């Protein structure tokens, strides 16, 4: 029987697409050579912390229990070799314990050959609109009939999540139109975020509305709930009825608009990444307020989120000398939000579900004639975390199948995972 590979400090599956062929070390660094010519180095302290033995992680939870500072000395490597299973075996001082490391896991976590581990799960593709454009659209008619965590479910979810992560938008079609169905669909991805509008909210004209969304008037491009510290990462809008004239949906990629502004009016772009606007709802019963720039960059200067909604913006309260430039920059942005080059327009059909990144995309709506029929959408919010976690689990299931398939045919896995 082939000797087995060691456990890893997680619940994932790690296909071994490359074999270790040689190992050398000094006290503080292990150097590994792979069969494709790659060389990888790992620090002794890093290996010690990421071991999978019972002194490092709780086997019941696979969460770390080791406190590095409790070691009596800095971990050092006494010896290292490749064992019969193809794993790395290391004897560590001062504890004098032998720790084994899985080659598939080591290869994936090869930080020596990874410039930036924070790359998005799916490359971000900015897009513009136009009359010939439409959202990525998938037939989801079998989704709710598929078993949770099944291959049939993954066949719909995987491309859907890929489109949301990469383009910020997907449209699923042919879903049931019973009220409340949205909760069952959303929970295939993750838990719903409740707000003061409820768990599911109904978007339709109603008497005594507490939002412009609940009227038949046009809505300008906006994100939802910019008044919150974390405005929701994802919005779901599920069409149950649509027989009115008008009411076309408009979507635009806020990242594309921001990038155009960065290129065409860099001063305005910089202003909108700096000035703290006040976002506030106007309500008789709630009083949400948050201050934020309209364009938020990460520490690498890449777009992280936009926060734009004219009807939820309170009075600007910034430095006196910033006010004129802040409004000039705002209007430079607003002009672009009206430009057809960014807008993607479509009509909802009953059974459509549009899912979009609410911290990236702006959505808008044409006015509709409420006396011509009914327009009823149900909506809900999730966080970006949920979609990333779900997508990672789908990738994990794929890797598990690869490992299972390979273990029934050969002791070596030859299919590459999505690894650096």
* Phi-psi label, residue 83: left if phi above 0, alpha if psi -120 to 50, beta otherwise: beta
Q: Which is nearer to Fe ion, 224 or 253 (CB)?
A: 224
User: Which residue number has the CB closest to Fe ion?
Assistant: 224
Is there a contact between 189 and 387 (Cβ–Cβ < 8 Å)? yes
Q: How far is the CB of 186 from Fe ion (least distance, A)?
A: 17
Task: Enumerate residues 8-27 that contact Fe ion by CB under 5 A.
Answer: none
Q: Which is nearer to Fe ion, 224 or 265 (CB)?
A: 224
Question: Which pair of tokens denotes residue 224?
Answer: 């939802």
Q: How many residues does the chain have?
A: 420
Count of residues binding Fe ion (CB under 5 A)?
A: 1
Distance between CA atoms of residues 327 and 317, nearest Å = 12
Q: How far is the CB of 281 from Fe ion (least distance, A)?
A: 13
Q: Which is nearer to Fe ion, 48 or 365 (CB)?
A: 365
3 state DSSP class of 285: coil
Q: Which is nearer to Fe ion, 258 or 354 (CB)?
A: 354
Max Cα separation, the chain?
81
Q: How far is the CB of 215 from Fe ion (least distance, A)?
A: 12
Q: Which is nearer to Fe ion, 171 or 399 (CB)?
A: 171
Q: How far is the CB of 381 from Fe ion (least distance, A)?
A: 10
Comparing C-alpha atoms, which of 89, 169, 175, 75 is closest to residue 124?
A: 169
Q: Which is nearer to Fe ion, 326 or 353 (CB)?
A: 353
Task: Enumerate residues 187-246 that contact Fe ion by CB under 5 A.
Answer: 224
Q: How far is the CB of 211 from Fe ion (least distance, A)?
A: 8
Q: How far is the CB of 99 from Fe ion (least distance, A)?
A: 52
Q: How would DSSP label each residue in 374-404? A: -EEEEEEEE-HHHHHHHHHHHHHHHHHHHHH
Give the bridge partners for 236, in sequence order.
355, 380
Measure Cα distances from 128 to 218, 258, 332 in Å: 21, 12, 18
Q: Which residues bind Fe ion (CB under 5 A)?
A: 224
């Amino acid at each position: 029987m082939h000797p087995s590979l060691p456990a890893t400090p997680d619940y994932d599956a790690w296909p071994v697409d490359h074999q270790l062929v040689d190992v050398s070390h000094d006290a503080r660094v292990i150097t590994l050579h792979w069969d494709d010519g790659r060389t990888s180095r790992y620090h002794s302290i890093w290996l010690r912390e990421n071991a999978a033995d019972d002194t490092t992680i709780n086997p019941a939870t696979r969460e770390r229990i080791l406190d590095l500072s409790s070691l009596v000395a800095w971990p050092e490597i006494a010896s290292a070799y490749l064992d019969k299973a193809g794993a790395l075996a290391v004897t560590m001082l001062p504890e004098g314990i032998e720790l084994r490391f899985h080659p598939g896991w080591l290869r994936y976590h090869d930080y020596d050959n990874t410039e930036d581990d924070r790359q998005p799960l799916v490359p971000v593709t900015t897009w513009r609109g136009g009359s010939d454009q439409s959202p990525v659209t998938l037939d989801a008619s079998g989704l709710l009939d598929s078993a949770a965590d099944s291959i049939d479910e993954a066949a719909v979810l995987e491309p859907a999540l890929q489109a949301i992560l990469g383009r910020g938008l997907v449209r699923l079609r042919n879903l049931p139109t019973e009220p409340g169905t949205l909760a069952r669909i959303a929970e295939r991805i993750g838990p719903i975020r409740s707000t003061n509008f409820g768990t599911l909210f109904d978007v339709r004209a109603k008497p005594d509305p507490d939002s412009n969304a609940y009227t038949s008037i046009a809505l300008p491009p906006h994100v939802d709930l910019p008044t919150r510290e974390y405005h929701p990462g994802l919005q779901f809008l599920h069409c149950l009825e649509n027989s009115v004239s008008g009411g076309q949906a408009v979507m635009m990629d806020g990242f594309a608009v921001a990038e155009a502004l960065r290129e065409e009016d860099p001063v305005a772009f910089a202003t909108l990444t700096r000035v703290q606007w006040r976002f506030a709802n106007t309500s008789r019963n709630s009083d949400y307020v948050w201050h934020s720039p309209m364009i938020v960059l990460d520490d690498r200067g890449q777009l992280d989120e936009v926060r734009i909604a004219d009807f939820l913006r309170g009075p600007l309260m910034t430095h006196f000398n910033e006010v004129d430039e802040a409004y000039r920059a705002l209007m430079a942005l607003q002009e672009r939000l009206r430009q057809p080059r960014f807008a993607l327009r479509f009509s909802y059909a009953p059974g459509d579900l549009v899912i979009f990144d609410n911290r990236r995309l702006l959505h808008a709506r044409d006015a509709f004639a409420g006396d011509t029929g009914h327009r009823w959408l149900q909506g809900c919010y999730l966080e970006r975390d949920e979609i990333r976690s779900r997508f990672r689990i789908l990738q994990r299931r794929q890797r598990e199948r690869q490992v299972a398939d390979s273990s029934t045919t050969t002791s070596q896995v030859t299919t590459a995972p999505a690894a650096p």
